[in-house]
A and B are shown apart, each in its own frame.
Chain A
Amino acid sequence: DGGITQSPKYLFRKEGQNVTLSCEQNLNHDAMYWYRQDPGQGLRLIYYSQIVNDFQKGDIAEGYSVSREKKESFPLTVTSAQKNPTAFYLCASSSQAVQETQYFGPGTRLLVL
């Protein structure tokens, strides 16, 4: 079954801690994206990657980091520098042919203790 998986579904972060959200896809898509959703604000782009070993900052990259060592995987690290990390995080992917049509994972809800 092709798709995007995100884990964990819920994640708790302590003050000053870095946490990593996992995103894996088996759709053979080149492009992958991380979004953050806050109430009333829609989806805001954190980072995106159009090819392995390359990624670009989105609109709200501060306090986050990513890596793209494999085509299938695009993990997002929420660092201690991100002062307001509580949100719903969505990973997506798309093919080069139709980049605009993105396929989303089920999301990870991050909560701060």
Chain B
Amino acid sequence: DQQVKQNSPSLSVQEGRISILNCDYTNSMFDYFLWYKKYPAEGPTFLISISSIKDKNEDGRFTVFLNKSAKHLSLHIVPSQPGDSAVYFCAASGTSYDKVIFGPGTSLSVIP
């Protein structure tokens, strides 16, 4: 049973518009969430994270929102750029865990 879900396998967005990638989790023990970006044939790279004591974290064009009651987080990219085209993995961890659980990923295509 997947503890971290990304229900949209793919997403297409026009350059300059907002990209919104969604992630849902089932385990209420998770208290730290991360987004990773992955290009084909490369390893993922860390993008942004958020602790459960916050509901928003922003880093340049990237903002992560956390809704603990809904067990939902989202990554907003604005404005989207063609170089943002990649697979985005949502991940979660908790203080009682010693590992990170990754979602299946969402493939984002930003169309010029």
Chain B residues lying within 8 Å of A35, measured Cβ to Cβ, are 102
Taking the closest CB of chain A, its distance from the CB of B10, in whole angstroms, is: 11
Interface size on A, residues (CB 8 A): 28
Chain A residues lying within 8 Å of B32, measured Cβ to Cβ, are 100
A-side interface mostly: strand
Taking the closest CB of chain A, its distance from the CB of B56, in whole angstroms, is: 18
Taking beta carbons and an 8 Å cutoff, which residues of A are in contact with B? Answer: 4, 6, 33, 35, 40-45, 48, 50, 56, 58, 88, 90-92, 99-107, 109
Instruction: Find out whether the CB atom of A102 lies under 8 angstroms from the CB atom of B104.
Output: no
Asked if B42 lies at the interface with its beta carbon under 8 angstroms from chain A, I say: yes
Question: Which residues of B in the span 50-100 have a Cβ within 8 Å of any Cβ on A?
Answer: 89, 91, 93, 98-100
Contacting residue for B102 out of A43, A56, A106, CB 8 A: A43
Contacting residue for A42 out of B41, B46, B98, B103, CB 8 A: B103
CA of A91 to CA of B43 in the docked complex: distance in angstroms?
8
A41's nearest neighbour on chain B, judged by CB, is B104
Chain A residues lying within 8 Å of B44, measured Cβ to Cβ, are 43, 90, 104
Q: Besides A58-B99, A101-B34, A101-B46, 12 other CB < 8 A contacts?
A: A41-B104, A42-B89, A42-B105, A43-B44, A43-B89, A48-B99, A90-B44, A92-B43, A101-B49, A104-B36, A106-B42, A107-B42
